[in-house]
Every structure is written in C-alpha cells, then in structure tokens.
Structure 1
Amino acid sequence: MSQKAKILGQLRENYLFAVVRGKTAEEGYKISESCIAGGIKNIEVTYTTPGAGSVIQKLSETVDDKTAVIGAGTVLDPATANEAILSGAKFVVSPHFDSSIAKVCHRYAIPYLPGCGSVTEIISAMETGVDVVKLFPGGLLGASFIKDVHGPLPYAEMMPSGGVSLDNLDQWMKAGAWAVGVGSALTADLEQLGFDSVTKKAAAFSEKVKELKQKN
C-alpha cells in the first residue's frame, strides 16, 4: 500500500477532522491536544493560526501516527503547502482548488483536499488526481448536495466542512459524506470554560460518530 493510500485509509477510518484555529501557536497546540484527548484523530491545523508550521511540527514530533494524523488547513498557495509538508503535515486542506497546490502534494504523496462548491470544481479537482474534496461552505451547500452530486458522480468522495454540528451529523453521514470537518463547534466554550470544554465537545462528536456507525 502506498503512503498516500495509507494516510487516506487512516483519515477515512478516523472520520472526524478537527479544524483548529488558534489565536496563538500555543493555543493552537493546546486545542489540538484537547481534540485528540476527546477522541478526534484527524487534526487540521489551519494557517490562520500564527506559527501554524511550528504547531504542525511539534504535534508531528510528539503524537504517534496511530494516535492522530496531523495535517494543514487554510493552505492558500504552493509555498505554504510545501512548508506544511516539510513541517510534517500528512494531509493538506484548502478553501479552494488550486492545481499548483495539488502538484506539490502529489510530489510528496500527500493527500490534498481542496474546497469545492460545484460539480465543475469537483471534476476539475478529480482530473488532477485529487481523491477527496472538501465541500465548502458545508453549511450553505447542505447534506443534500452530496446526494445530488453522487447522481452523475457516484465515485466522488466529499468531506463537508463548516456548518457541521451534533444535530446534523447524522444527515451528513446518511448522505454519504466520506468524512466531516468540525471547527467552531469544538471551541464555542473555550474562552469561558477552558480547554476541558474542547475535550468534552470532541468526545461528544466522537461518541456520536460511533453511535451512528453502529446503527448503519
């Protein structure tokens, strides 16, 4: 099995992606730790976090691959993708599709999950060798978008990000989401209740996924 296929397998099995946006590098690291403690094993450190590369590197050095898969989010250009990968990122996510980012990721056999919001964008991404696209903004597109796309493109793999909550998680899973990205829902109580609140919310999402997988 190739490195890329192995990483994709882990991401799919873990299912939940924690979209980490810290105000500082330290906060980004602690949010990531809290999500892992709560059972979310795909950690997407966004480049809106100051010093995101250092956070990715530190997590990659301290967290075993079997415990969590560390990647980069909000990657807007190939230079940032290159930095993220050299810092240890095992996957790269962007809010848009950029073929030049795809080339960098393919060069290093790292999965690239670009943000797409239409069938045209999804096809363009797939034609460059992208295996999974991020549906963004997920809250605007809705779970029915996956079903609609699977009509003409039954083999398209999609991960919604943005607007995913405990209340609609079942809708996304039933629609056929390859995985889901969760962001602000995890840190809603961070300022008032601290990092323990992030762990508790991560655990709630993890338990919900287990419950829904057992039902299906």
Structure 2
Amino acid sequence: MFHVLDSIKKHKIVAIIRTDSLADLELTVESLHRGGIRIVEVTLNTPGALEGIKGLKEKYPDLIVGAGTVLDPESARQSILSGAAFLLAPTLKESTIHMANRYGTFIVPGVLTPTEALTAYEVGAKMVKIFPARSVGPNYIKDLKGPLPHIDVMAVGGISIDNADAFFKAGCTALGIGSALVDNELVKRGDFQEIEKRARDFVEIADRATAIQNS
C-alpha cells in the first residue's frame, strides 16, 4: 500500500483512461508511457477493464495500474483480484474503503466536504480525491488543507494544462487527469502522438512542482 502512495507522491500525475476497447486502451497506455506517465487508472466502465489491467501489468512492469470508478466493495474486490495496485472512487463509501484495507490495497475515495475528507481518513484512506475539482477551484483545496494538513489530496475533474500548476500550488499531492490528457477524440482519430505530447507536458508540470517543494 505505502509503495503506491510513495509513487503517487513522486510522479504526481495519474492518467485516467476510459476507452471503447482493449485495443484502444493498449495504444493509449503505450503513448502515455512514452510520454513519461507511470501511473494509470483504468475506469471500470471501460469494456474489458479487468482484463486490461491484467495485461498492462504484464506488459509494463514499471507502470502502476489501478482501477477507477470503483463504486462498491464487490467492484473493489474484483479489481484487486485482477491485479489493480490501487483503487479510485468518485464517492465516499466506507464499506469500499474497508474492503480495500482488508486486502492491503491503496484506495483514494472521492470527497468534497471537510467532513467527508476526515471521515475517509478516519476509516483508513491515506489520500482523498477532491471531485469535481474544477467546480470548486484551487482555492478550495488551499482552504481545505488549512485545518486538515495531514490529509493528502488528489484533485480530479477538470484538471488541465492551464490550471494544473495552480492546483499543485494550492497543496495537492497529485492530480488525476482525464480528458485533458486522454481525449477520446484523439483516440478515435489515432492521434497517439498528441497524447504522448500532452503526457510530456503534464510530467513537466509535475517535475516543476516537485522542484518547488524540494527547494
């Protein structure tokens, strides 16, 4: 569990992938990997998601592969047994956190309010996902971290090249990035070079945030 947290703190970018087929998933991850992304989340509403997680883990031993859109304990268990190294959920469901902890699997539940963030932490989540982040903005993260500095935060939902820096400066440990990185229109057109370029751009922002934190 803790090696996943350490990796997320190191790399800071989690690519959120939702494709229409396993073939698209494989090509997308290949381009992300070339662009420097080392943590990916395959959403469970991707066709063949569990099979895809297994395949990616075998092909990319240096890649941390997790499952996303995990809504309940049953989905959590299936994902863990398929090899998911971590779980991301859009909501806070205590029984799902308990299931992840039972298997020693890192989980990031979705929260919005300070009460939800503290509840998630108290039942065993080591990091929370502020979702939808775009709706509340970076200043909300800064305000939340004021009374809860011990809780690591991942911002998800509407993160882009234009606002990523601001979310890091507000105190986010990591960012979960979906369409700004893996645009389904790019996948449909087969423009994987653009996905690779976007990956490099986000990795550069993450590296800059790390340099500032260590200065």
Q: TM-score, normalised by structure 1?
A: 0.93
What are the within-5 Å matches in structure 2 for residues 23-172 of structure 1?
Answer: 23-64=20-61, 67-172=62-167
Question: What's the offset of the Cα at 1:215?
Answer: 4.2
- AA aligned to 1:30 is L
Identical positions, percent: 36
After the TM superposition, list the runs of 4 or more consecutive aligned residues in structure 1 that deviate by more than 6 angstroms.
Answer: none
- Secondary structure, counterpart of 1:184 in structure 2: coil
Question: What's the offset of the Cα at 1:123?
Answer: 1.3
- AA aligned to 1:207 is E
Which segments of 5 or more consecutive residues in structure 2 lack a partner in the other structure? none
Decide whether the 8 Å contact of 2:98 with 2:124 is kept in 1: no
Decide whether the 8 Å contact of 2:57 with 2:63 is kept in 1: no
Which segments of 5 or more consecutive residues in structure 1 lack a partner in the other structure? none
Looking at structure 2, the residues matched to 59 and 164 of structure 1 have their Cα atoms a distance apart, in angstroms, of 25
- AA aligned to 1:40 is I
- AA aligned to 1:153 is L
- Secondary structure, counterpart of 1:164 in structure 2: coil
Looking at structure 2, the residues matched to 43 and 37 of structure 1 have their Cα atoms a distance apart, in angstroms, of 13
- Secondary structure, counterpart of 1:160 in structure 2: strand
Query: Is 1:201 aligned to 2:198, yes or no?
Result: yes
- Residue by residue over 1:135-181, the C-alpha shift from the partner in whole angstroms, topping out at 9 and shown as x without a partner, is 10011121111111122212121100111111111101111101001
- Secondary structure, counterpart of 1:159 in structure 2: strand
Q: TM-score, normalised by structure 2?
A: 0.93
Decide whether the 8 Å contact of 2:31 with 2:196 is kept in 1: yes
- Secondary structure, counterpart of 2:142 in structure 1: helix
Looking at structure 1, the residues matched to 147 and 209 of structure 2 have their Cα atoms a distance apart, in angstroms, of 27
Decide whether the 8 Å contact of 1:187 with 1:197 is kept in 2: no
The two structures, once aligned, show a CA RMSD in angstroms of 1.3
Looking at structure 2, the residues matched to 20 and 193 of structure 1 have their Cα atoms a distance apart, in angstroms, of 15
Question: What's the offset of the Cα at 1:191?
Answer: 3.1
Decide whether the 8 Å contact of 1:116 with 1:122 is kept in 2: yes
Question: What's the offset of the Cα at 1:212?
Answer: 3.6
- Residue by residue over 1:12-66, the C-alpha shift from the partner in whole angstroms, topping out at 9 and shown as x without a partner, is 11110000010112212221222111111110000110110001010111111xx
- Residue by residue over 1:102-130, the C-alpha shift from the partner in whole angstroms, topping out at 9 and shown as x without a partner, is 11110111111000011111111111011
Question: What's the offset of the Cα at 1:193?
Answer: 5.1
- Secondary structure, counterpart of 1:186 in structure 2: coil
Tell me the number of residue pairs that the alignment of Structure 1 and Structure 2 aligns.
211
- AA aligned to 2:70 is V
- Secondary structure, counterpart of 1:122 in structure 2: helix
- AA aligned to 2:87 is V
- Secondary structure, counterpart of 2:14 in structure 1: strand
- The equivalent residue for 2:210 is 213
Decide whether the 8 Å contact of 1:11 with 1:69 is kept in 2: no
